[in-house]
Amino acid sequence: MLDASAYPDTFARDHLPPANLWPVFDQKALEAARYPKRMNAAVELLDSAVAHGFGERPCIRTMTEIWTYSELLAKANQIAGVLVDDLSLVPGNRVLLRAPNSPILAACWLAVLKVGGIAVATMPLLRARELSYMIGKAKIDFALCDARLAEELRAVVAPSLKMLFFNTDGPDGLEARAARKPDTFANVMVSHDDVALIAFTSGTTGPAKGTLHFHRDVLAICDSWQPILKTTPDDVFAGSAPFAFTFGLGALLLFPMRHGASSVLLEQATADGLLKAIRKHGVTTLFTVPTLYRSMTALAAGTHVSSLKMCVSSGEHLPASVFENWRNATGHRIVNSIGSTEMLHAFLAMPPDSARAGPVGVPLPGHQAMVVDENMQPVPVDTVGRLAVRGPTGCRYLEDAERQEKYVRNGWNLTGDAFQQDKDGLFWYHARSDDMIVSAGYNISGAEIEEVLLDHPAVSECAVVGVPDAERGQIVKAFIVLVDGYDAGEPMTKILQDQVRNTVAPYKYPRAIEYCKSLPRTTSGKIQRNVLRDGAGGLV
């Protein structure tokens, strides 16, 4: 049951999916958390931290500066004043945010929530066409944008869009306007189930879809992770994902702030840059993707990373070779996890003390998971099926009832992932449900073949998909980026095919291999396997 909204602008609430299409939420987890009916997530994260004595502690770090909780609160309050006084924003209005991870972006995100607005963070690399789609879909009339990214936003045809730019010395820039505002603000105390943010999916299976998340959801993902992370105020977080990718929003802003800790924000999180941040700031908690763990491993040997206590991976399948090589190089295990934009953050993770290569893990506290067939019936142990999850958060698409019906069934969120559960209760990833390859009656996991190929020293990156074949229905096709110094061609193809034949069941080997300079990725870094399937070229 939705509580009474504090929003004059009811667009978001009006465009939630019908109540009968909502997932079932874990009421025990929500009741145990005791979230107040009237609350503002930004106030809980920021104002409350200062009120509890954390004001002079570091909150946001970069390689050149540190903002304390008090400094971040003052800046967020001033930006809130600009939104209300200069732009006439009212609670419920949507605000597009466009910038790389930075202290000013953090202040903007928190300011939007403090005024009762709805934050819509966007990837810095998006172009005008993609921004236009989001602005139209979410009916956005306000934008706060880094001046370095102004060109694409200005190219959007949206006459009602009010834009302010930061990282500029202009008298009408956000910094100049904010400097003229008081550093206090009368926060808008909304309902716990008012929408706080609209997160757009990364679009691996078609056009990006808006997902709506409440103020209570912002806190719930922090509280679900805490039994794993055990965050203290002395912890320092770092990672690679932008705030527009909810993996990054949680890991680099919400999780540390929930417990008075701090985070390092990097505009461009390269392998070398992350290692430098770890050394400079004594990072304890690292959230990044397997691709960067792989790249960092080659640089980490002999590097001082002893401050690390927790290394978390998500966003892409974690190959066993990446896990083992990182552990050998640094002494640290990687905690595997999986989540979705629809759920706001992760729902499965490995317990840190037993983290090992292979399984994704078990449900996070407050979550349930099962592997089901097409009729939503649980499948036997060690049988591949569809992953269904539920917890304190869940999928609510923006004005997309058709998609909502596919994602939520019988109260469960169907994540689109193919999994199996073993006798010990651990969940093992196989593929996206639409990435499962069926060849001559055999179910073949693309992720498994990718792991085998990545074990070969010639392979830098790879993606495996199924492509149509008249005889077998589908065949396995691998798209491979070679390490410099190795030559594409028939000899290499045979070597790699034999690598698979000699490692797993022979029927799983890639009957087609195509060599690429790079793999297509979304702005959040995920490989676009749908692009590879749709544009599959000839055999090599």
Q: For position 440, which CATH number holds?
A: 3.30.300.30
Tokens of 444: 């073949």
- Determine the average pLDDT of the residues in 286-313: 89
Q: Which of 275, 305, 332 is the last residue of a domain?
A: 332
- 184 in a domain, yes or no? no
How far apart, in whole angstroms, are the C-alpha atoms of residue 67 and residue 72? 6
CA distances from 506 to 40, 400, 498 (A): 56, 42, 9
With contact defined as beta carbons under 8 Å apart, do 489 and 480 qualify? no
- Predicted pLDDT at 174: 98
Phi, psi dihedral angles at 216 (to 5 degrees): -65, -30
- Predicted pLDDT at 203: 54
Sheet arrangement for strand 512-515: 459-469, 473-482, 512-515
Q: Which of 271, 304, 332 is the last residue of a domain?
A: 332
- Predicted pLDDT at 472: 84
Could you tell me the pTM of the whole model?
Answer: 0.88
- Predicted pLDDT at 537: 44
Q: What percent of the chain has pLDDT over 90?
A: 80
- Determine the average pLDDT of the residues in 470-497: 94
Q: What percent of the chain has pLDDT over 70?
A: 98
- Determine the average pLDDT of the residues in 301-326: 88
How far apart, in whole angstroms, are the C-alpha atoms of residue 109 and residue 204? 25
- Determine the average pLDDT of the residues in 398-412: 94
- Determine the average pLDDT of the residues in 528-532: 89
Tokens of 47: 């104002």
If pLDDT is split at 50, 70 and 90, which confidence band does 540 have? Answer: very low
Lowest mean pLDDT among 39-43, 178-182, 392-396, 428-432: 428-432
- Determine the average pLDDT of the residues in 338-356: 95
If pLDDT is split at 50, 70 and 90, which confidence band does 84 have? Answer: very high
Asked if residue 435 has pLDDT above 90, the reply is no
How confident is the prediction for the chain on average, in pLDDT? 93
- Predicted pLDDT at 536: 58
- 467 in a domain, yes or no? yes
Domains: count for the chain: 2
Asked if residue 198 has pLDDT above 50, the reply is yes
Tokens of 435: 């990435």
- Tens of pLDDT, residues 30-54: 888 899 999 999 999 999 999 999 9
Question: 212: part of which helix (H) or strand (E)?
Answer: strand 210-214
Q: Cα–chain-centroid distance for residue 226? A: 17
- 107 in a domain, yes or no? no
Tokens of 225: 């992770």
Beta-carbon contacts of 230 under 8 Å, excluding residues fewer than 6 positions away, are: none
How far apart, in whole angstroms, are the C-alpha atoms of residue 533 and residue 516? 14
| pLDDT higher at 395 or 522 | 395
Domain extent at residue 451: 436-534
Q: Would you list the DSSP string of 375-414?
A: TSPBPPTT--EEEEEESSS---BSS-HHHHHHHEETTEEE
If pLDDT is split at 50, 70 and 90, which confidence band does 207 have? Answer: low
- Determine the average pLDDT of the residues in 158-168: 96
If pLDDT is split at 50, 70 and 90, which confidence band does 539 have? Answer: very low
- 454 in a domain, yes or no? yes
- 527 in a domain, yes or no? yes
Q: Would you list the DSSP string of 430-493?
A: EEEGGG-EEETTEEE-HHHHHHHHHTSTTEEEEEEEEEEETTTEEEEEEEEEEPTT---SHHHH
Asked if residue 535 has pLDDT above 80, the reply is no
Strand 94-98 and strand 142-146: pairing?
Answer: parallel
Asked if residue 131 has pLDDT above 80, the reply is yes
Measuring CA to CA, which residue among 420, 414, 412 is closest to residue 443?
420
- Predicted pLDDT at 1: 52
- Tens of pLDDT, residues 356-377: 999 999 999 999 999 999 999 9
**Could you tell me if residue 178 is left (phi over 0), alpha (psi between -120 and 50 degrees) or otherwise beta?**
alpha
- Determine the average pLDDT of the residues in 165-169: 96
Residue 243's CATH number: 3.40.50.980
- Predicted pLDDT at 432: 78
- Determine the average pLDDT of the residues in 66-76: 98
Q: How much of the chain is in helix, strand and coil states, percent to nearest 5? A: 35, 25, 40
- Predicted pLDDT at 202: 64
Q: Which of 307, 332, 357 is the last residue of a domain?
A: 332
